[in-house]
Chains A and B, each alone.
Chain A
Amino acid sequence: MSFEGMIRTCPMEENNIRAGTLDVRMKGSRSLLSRCSLYLCLTLTSVILLSGSGTSFDGGITTEMVHSGSGQHLLTGTPNGLKDNFSAYMDYYEMTEHLRALAKGYPNLMQLSTLGKSFGGNDIWCVKLSDSPSTNDDGVPGSEPDALLVGAHHGNEWISYEVPLYVISFLLENYGSTGRNGSASTYLLDNREIFIVPMLNTDGTQYSHDTGQSWRKNRQPNYVSDFIPTDGSDVKLRPSSYGLDINRNYGWMWHLQGGSNALTQSGSSYRGGPDNSDDDGDTRLPVDWRTGRIPFGPEDGIDEDPWDGLDNDQDGEVDEDPAGGFSSAETVAMKELGDRYGFPVLITYHSFSELVLWPWGYTDQATKDDGLFSTFGSRLAGMNGYTPMQGYDLYMTTGEMTDWFYAMYGTLGFTFELAQTYRPPEDQILQECERNLWSTLYLTHAAQNPAESYLELRYNISSWSVKDGKVSVDMSMVDTGYPYELDMERCSYVYRSGSGSWRTTRAVKGGDGNWTADIPVDAYSGSVDLYLKLQDAEGHVLTEPLYAPYEYMVIGTSSGSKVLPGFTVGTFLIMFCTLGVIWGGFGSGIFRSITADNRRARSIEL
């Protein structure tokens, strides 16, 4: 293929140069040029053949999830390793030592404080975990939602304090490290404030350890009469029994009767005595010294308006003179903590039964948030393989912790009934801790927006491809009734290439529920890191994977091996023809132009 056939050499008869001679010269020059281009092509060919570019395909295309804790690793000491600690049940003193060691080892992540002393004089330890534990919310109010984890309401439920202790160690030791553990820990400590009271019932637990008894309650004394002189008279009464059931001693519906042996002092679920005090100062009868009648009971204006959300005495005030509850140091400590932080979410650990329970415990009526409770609870139960149900469906409980927190602070609180026995064998402690870890972490994450439990995360990219200069991604997030409208303008994929900075591109939800986006291909240097980020009208941010950007999906080729396009016979054919015609043609055209000049110059000479 050459254009030479299309152009005729201009006959130069007038100039006395014989066309034949000229033609021979032109032909000679042309063959020189074509020889040159042939040489060039041959050289190229041999180089190509020698360089031997590969043609085999290996290295499949993969999707994987990558976790990267991006925080600074703050491990300053070498506190007790995880494995060592969870092979035996700690008692209160060992736990105290353990917590102090951790607080010393992780001063930038953990703050150890006491919520007060138990009747027996033990500190009720509260651990606060966060990236700057001494500054509330990092100084920006509301920026770090709080979560509360409480263990050991009951002295005989030993596994219930090992699990929160395990969570503490897990979060501290994995902060700033890579892998799934690192992503979750770093994310949570950077973005949440986690309050953990691993052993609320210090006295009862220690008593259990000391005596070998299965002691449920705390160890405060019960007297025959609950009437204790308050005028300082030196009446010494011998306690008839010890302890009350802390988890029946919260205020909400404390006054109701029902559920096991809550009224019996010696019973293992004793709720504590009535306070018999006129909290609102509306006693109708003064003390009648003639009859010796002391004002007593609701009809005299004492304990007439219990914690039930109603104005029982119709005086315009609600729950202003409760009958009882909060008669133990432990419940008072928890009430103060609740009053202060309000906690959107909490877990209180108990054993046993492998259940996830939520309010109400005092009635079979559902809470007005029952949809969220059951969705959230089922999601948690799905993670630890427990059975989700409303508390009352197990048995009726009054003055119970999650009821109190829900009623007073709107907290989405769950009772985890761990394991299949109060005290699993010691070689199963770790197993039980691990089993409950991810549901606990999930709840902590959801402190920001508990409704996120309506979205089912798949940790999977349904499909992706690189074509037309774009990387197309599909990811699904199954919505089972998320209550807030998504702000479609702000739903996006966040992506980056290599170690570049994160960028966003709009994601569009298709009819199949998949979120699709086209990521500009310059972000694709063999792989792209990405995560899905949705935002609702309330400003909540939802991501998949959960702990993004500390973890993210990576799409790309699995190995770095480069497979180059190969040469075929056709390649050479087209290459020779194209380069021959174009480069050769251009070259010979230039040559012809030069020779034409010479020719013309000669014709002038002639």
Chain B
Amino acid sequence: MSSKGPKESGMFSSKWGLLMAALGAAIGTGNIWRFPREVANNGGGSFMIAYVIFLFTWSIPILLVEFSIGKKSRKGTMGSFAAFLGKEKMWMGAWMAWISTAIGFYYAVVMGWTIRYALGAMTGTISLTDTRGTWEGLLTSPLLMVLFQFLAIVLTAVLVYRGIKKGVERVNMVLIPIMFVLVIGSMIWALLQPGGFGGVAYLFTPKTKYLLSAKTWIAALAQCAWSCSAGMGMAITFGAYSKRKEDTTLNSFLTGLGDTAFSLLIGIMIFSTVFALSPTVDSAYAAVEEGGSGLTFIHIPKLFGGLGTFGFLLAFTFFLVMSFAALTSMISTYEAALKNFTDAGMDRKKAVRWLTVLLFIFGLPSALIVAEVSGHPLPVFLDHQDYVWGMGLVLSGAFIYYLVAKYGISRFREKVINSRYSDVKVGKWIEYILKYVIPLEVVLLGGWYIVQSLLADPLEEWWVSGPISLGLLAIQWAAALGVIWYLCRKLNVQMVDRDFDPDTSMDEDIIEEEAAERGEAIILESPQGV
């Protein structure tokens, strides 16, 4: 029973490679624009309390489970579900892969924007005074939008093409530390500006009213889940690419904590910058509350605008960090989808080529459909897609929960998560979280969005139109699920390794893997024999 797993394709050569890749996936543009806005809109310190709680009760446990699933099955999302639950449940994994890919469609456009701004700040071709003009000029130029989307995809594809070890691992090993250094540097600069500490106060001051509001908690859960990429299938994929000896428990913690640590650095940097450079406090509040593309592409450049050449340097640094964050996340999106193709037997390089074409074509609507909303161009299709597939993470989370519950929660912890080689072992606490807390959170998060949509504008036709319409979401989900389910029924490929045995413990798998590395074939008498 030889395992071809470890030699099959590139693997992470070290635990640091795996960690950096996971951090790169988790740290995205959302850390930069979404986190500060969510903090600002949900009562600063109050939000942070809720965020930290959810970090430990949602994101890290889900990441942990995902890593373990991947490490055990050695497959991508589809193969993992097929391995653990049987082929008829493969569509659940396909859903996760689809979510990741669908996010990739529009994420490439966003990444294109960051590249355009980074290049623009470097060459001085963006305006730091008429920032809205620059921003709307970009949005309303289909040529530029597609050009930079294309650039983003090609850049990612080239790096992914080189394989896990030479591509993903190496890129992240370089970019993640650079990002941390740049952000820490910018943060220190921002803190040293007069008024900069006002931002720190704004970030951490708790407001009782918000602490007692359901909205704060939901927003914190949503931000935490989205930001850490929990449920994206990323951890399953990277788990599959890592050696079984590698620790996953500590890595999950480090991914969740590292992502949040980065968010905090960015948060302090942005708030300090905003409060230091805004001409008045009103405008500072207004700036942080606008969030979204407004904050990132209109307000922040404007703040730098008053600083002359140095401002361009800061803007360049800022957008360079954003580009890196987008790139590393884009890579993980690629990998998560790619793994499913290679699992199905497709050549990796061929799969990269196909996926590149797919991502570019399906990303075009997000780049091209820009509508004027109250006098200003907005990427409406992109925003809509962000909502529809971003929400898909809730369902993905539910599927992962279903997988673990089917397998047996205690059994999963003992056999799949923990091994002799774990840097740390996971205690029984995770069973309680998986059993009680996560289902509650799924219901809470999903239910909240439905209720919110229903309550938002009961008289409006919320269910058929508008960027955040529940009706459009339901239609697209149903269509995607239908197609995925049908294709998975029809798909006749062997996704699961023939020697996969759900009952062997991780320790046994490791022995087998080490033997395979040495070229030996250890024949176990029977799966139950050890």
Please give the residue numbers on chain A whose beta carbons come within 8 Å of chain B beta carbons, in ascending order: 1, 3, 6-10, 14, 44, 47-48, 51, 53, 61, 466-471, 492, 500-501, 503-506, 517-518, 520-527, 556-557, 560, 562-568, 570-575, 577-579, 581-583, 585-586, 589-590, 592-593, 596-597
Contact = CB atoms under 8 A, between A and B. Distances in A.
B279 A526 contact: yes
B257 A562 contact: no
Given A8-B424, A556-B282, A570 B195 contact: no
Contacts of A570: 45, 205-206
A471 B198 CA distance: 22
The 8 closest A-B pairs by CB, nearest first: A469-B290, A564-B198, A526-B280, A574-B45, A586-B257, A575-B204, A7-B424, A596-B423
A582 B254 contact: no
A566 B205 CA distance: 8
Contact of B302 (A522, A578, A586): A522
Given A492-B375, A505-B374, A570-B205, A7 B264 contact: no
A492 B372 CA distance: 15
B250 interface: yes
B82 to A, nearest CB: 31
Given A8-B424, A518-B374, A570-B205, A468 B289 contact: yes
Contacts of B15: 593, 597
Contacts of A526: 278-280, 282-283
A47 B257 CA distance: 26
A521 B274 CA distance: 13
Contact of A8 (B204, B375, B425): B425
B49 A574 contact: yes
Contact of B287 (A521, A575, A593): A521
Contacts of B424: 7-10, 592
B437 to A, nearest CB: 13
A435 to B, nearest CB: 41
Contacts of B291: 469
B275 interface: yes
Given A7-B427, A570-B206, A506 B254 contact: no
Contacts of B198: 53, 564-565
A3 B253 contact: yes
B261 A53 contact: no
Given A469-B290, A521-B286, A526-B279, A571 B420 contact: no
Contacts of B131: 522
Given A48-B200, A503-B132, A7 B281 contact: no
B360 interface: no
Contact of B52 (A61, A525, A578, A596): A578
A204 to B, nearest CB: 58
A565 B302 contact: no
A505 B206 contact: no
Nearest to B194: A51
B391 interface: no
A573 B44 CA distance: 13
B422 interface: yes
Contact of B294 (A8, A521, A560, A565): A521
B261 A6 contact: no
B285 A593 contact: no
A582 B282 CA distance: 30
B52 A500 contact: no
Contacts of A501: 130, 133
Contact of B427 (A8, A469, A557): A8
Interface residues of B, number: 63
B202 interface: yes
A520 B294 CA distance: 9
A522 B282 contact: no
A574 B204 contact: yes
Q: Is the interface of A mostly helix, strand, loop or mixed?
A: mixed
B422 A10 contact: yes
B247 A596 contact: yes
Contacts of A503: 132, 375
Nearest to A571: B205
A395 B253 CA distance: 96
A590 B294 contact: no
Given A7-B250, A575-B200, 9 more contacts: A8-B427, A48-B197, A503-B132, A521-B289, A526-B280, A567-B197, A574-B45, A578-B264, A586-B258
Contacts of B290: 469-470, 520-522
A589 B252 CA distance: 10
Given A8-B424, A574-B206, A557 B282 contact: yes
B71 interface: no
B342 interface: no
Contacts of A567: 197, 201, 205
Contacts of B258: 586
B302 to A, nearest CB: 6
A505 B375 contact: yes
B427 A500 contact: no
Interface in B445-464: none
A586 to B, nearest CB: 4
A469 B299 CA distance: 11
Given A521-B290, A596-B247, A564 B275 contact: yes
A520 to B, nearest CB: 6
Nearest to A599: B423
Contact of A578 (B48, B133, B278, B298): B48
B122 to A, nearest CB: 23
B60 to A, nearest CB: 8
Given A492-B375, A505-B376, A570-B45, A7 B249 contact: yes
A506 B302 CA distance: 24
Contacts of A61: 282
B113 to A, nearest CB: 16
A563 B278 CA distance: 11
Nearest to A15: B420
A22 B242 CA distance: 27
B129 interface: yes
B19 interface: yes
A19 to B, nearest CB: 12
A473 to B, nearest CB: 13
B56 interface: yes
Contacts of B425: 7-10
Contacts of B275: 564-565
Interface in B400-439: 420, 422-427, 429
B19 A593 contact: yes
B227 interface: no
A6 B195 contact: no
Contact of B250 (A44, A556, A589): A589
A490 to B, nearest CB: 11
A451 B298 CA distance: 41
Interface string B176-202: 000000000000000100110110111
10 contacts: A6-B427, A61-B282, A505-B374, A505-B376, A521-B286, A526-B280, A564-B197, A571-B206, A572-B204, A586-B254
A556 B253 contact: no
A550 to B, nearest CB: 22
Query: Which of B195, B275, B282 counts the most A-chain CB atoms under 10 A from its CB?
Result: B282
Interface string B37-75: 000000011001100100010000000000000000000
B280 A7 contact: no
A466 B290 CA distance: 11
A520 B205 contact: no
B429 A592 contact: no
Given A466-B282, A469-B294, A492-B375, A592 B423 contact: yes
A477 B250 CA distance: 65
B261 A583 contact: yes
Nearest to B306: A525
B260 interface: yes
A394 to B, nearest CB: 50
Contact of A564 (B130, B261, B281, B302): B281
Nearest to B135: A522
Contacts of B48: 574, 578
A556 B56 contact: no
